[in-house]
Amino acid sequence: MYAKTGQSAYAQVSLESQVAGATPHQLITLLMDGAISAMMRAKIYFESGNIAKRGEMISRAINIIDNGLRASLNHEVGGAVTEEMESLYEYVSRNLLLLNLQKQPEQLPHLIEIMTTLSTTWKEIEPTRKPGHYG
């Protein structure tokens, strides 16, 4: 029991450290990675029949997408790109809810692929740091 608590505490401190030192771009990366991780775990729980954990992971992914990623969109600056991102996030979020309610995980790999593609693209456009600036 202690080992599990210790691991959880270490993971929490590690995450808090990452967030504290992150740029806005890196914060979005962390949110995307968190949503993808929750979706992948939901897929495992679908396969194993663990309904409670499946629901928890789907809810976590939806929360990250809606209250993290969608909420961070700047519609005043982003223009058409922001509108497209909004549509994609809404599509993924809505379909996560539907597949969980209907107990039909077939679309989950497709939704994971969408988020993974977005994440990969986001990481590729990360602004480079100025020479000599670390951290």
pLDDT of residue 135: 43
Angle at which helices 24-48 and 2-20 pack, to 10 degrees? Answer: 150
Given a cut of 80, is residue 17 above it in pLDDT? no
Given a cut of 50, is residue 26 above it in pLDDT? yes
Report d(CA 44, CA 124) in Å as an integer: 28
pLDDT of residue 133: 47
The full set of domains in the chain, from first to last, is 23-124 (1.20.120.340)
What separation in angstroms does the CA of 106 have from each of 40, 47, 55, 60, 128? Answer: 13, 11, 16, 19, 38
The string of pLDDT tens digits covering residues 44-53 is: 999 999 999 9
Report d(CA 78, CA 31) in Å as an integer: 19
The string of pLDDT tens digits covering residues 72-111 is: 999 888 889 999 999 999 999 999 999 999 999 999 999 9
